[in-house]
Amino acid sequence: MESGLTQSLLPAEMRVRLAEILPAGRIVHFAPREKLFCEGDPSDHIAILLAGIVKITASTANGREALLGLRGAGEVVGEIAALYGSPRSATVRALDDVRARLVPASAFVNGLRRHPDALLASCMRS
């Protein structure tokens, strides 16, 4: 699994462990400029990026778009809103052809409940 383009909120070991424990989900393709998530939308799934690059943006108070980060293959996006059951805090848009595995938020949260070690994966280095 390749690493992302910018620092992920989740350590690499945790992302690998999440990919191992989560159900298969469905594979979806996104064309360049297509939105995976929209800021303010309900968070009913997460995405594990399999190929391509996405940009993560949020609206500023003056109506501009702020770039929060770029993510690539091996990265998980949408996990924070899914964990808290809150609306999306950012928009995620494909920069090129993107292939992602979409996993329901409930399966993500249940997977973490069944495998709490996934949350500690980065702390358990020997």
Tens digits of residue pLDDT in 50-91: 999 999 999 999 999 999 999 998 888 998 888 888 999 999
User: What is the value of pTM for the model shown?
Assistant: 0.79
Would you say residue 6 has pLDDT above 60? Answer: no
Confidence of residue 11 (pLDDT cuts 50, 70, 90): low
Q: Are 4 and 74 in contact (CB under 8 A)?
A: yes
